Amino acid sequence: MPHGRAATPCDTDLVNDVDALGPELQATWRREIPLAAAIGVEVSACTSTELVVRAPLTPNRNVHGTAFAGSLFSVCVLTGWGMAWLALRQRGLDGTIVVADSRIQYRKAVTGDLLCRCRVDAKVLDRQLAPLETSGRARIPIVCTIDANDKRAVTFEGEYVVQRKTARNEAE
């Protein structure tokens, strides 16, 4: 499974070649998803169990001058997808990842840049991903959060479905 070998701006506590995955993830988003480019998502930290994604406020403001609900959701759903993607890559697994259901709670307006955090437990992820090998499909619940002024502003809970790639969906 070839992937990027570039030097990385990612944070410390890196495991294996996770350091190369942050830039690859960001480049994939910006190349393949026009809205991710419009939002201006940047991978600002990545370890084997944590992903932090940043987006500037300016292109993401709403009628009130704070962060638009759709931008907040998009940054969260990308961060969750990115965490699942990292989990697969670090385990040498291959699969398509889609979000099936999600819930988002907005508790405070975000008045500055959007900083989304996702943290997972590696052992829990191992268990959740095990069915991918046996049945070709796994479901991963992922939580992402965005704080504003040191208080929880947004909580996102998404359920991602990972499906083993087949000849058919490889071609998709």
Q: Residues interacting with its own copies, by CB under 8 A?
A: 28, 32-36, 38-39, 58-65, 68-71, 73-75, 77-78, 96, 98-106, 109, 172
Backbone torsion region of residue 64, taken as left when φ is above 0, otherwise alpha when ψ lies between -120 and 50, otherwise beta: alpha
| Minimum distance, C-beta of residue 28 to its own copies, in the bound complex (Å) | 7
Q: Which two tokens stand for residue 152?
A: 């929880």
Q: Which CB, 26 or 74, lies closer to its own copies?
A: 74
Q: Which of 116, 26, 130, 53 is nearest to 88 (CA)?
A: 130
Q: How far apart are CA 28 and CA 33, in angstroms?
A: 8
Q: Which CB, 18 or 39, lies closer to its own copies?
A: 39
Q: Which CB, 1 or 63, lies closer to its own copies?
A: 63
| Minimum distance, C-beta of residue 64 to its own copies, in the bound complex (Å) | 6
Q: Which of 94, 91, 126 is nearest to 16 (CA)?
A: 91
For residue 143, CA distances in Å to 47, 111, 120, 121, 140 come to 16, 22, 8, 11, 10
Kind and range of the H or E run holding 72 = helix 69-90
| Minimum distance, C-beta of residue 172 to its own copies, in the bound complex (Å) | 6
| Minimum distance, C-beta of residue 29 to its own copies, in the bound complex (Å) | 8
Q: Which CB, 90 or 155, lies closer to its own copies?
A: 155
| Minimum distance, C-beta of residue 144 to its own copies, in the bound complex (Å) | 12
Q: Which CB, 59 or 136, lies closer to its own copies?
A: 59
Q: How far apart are CA 29 and CA 78, in angstroms?
A: 8
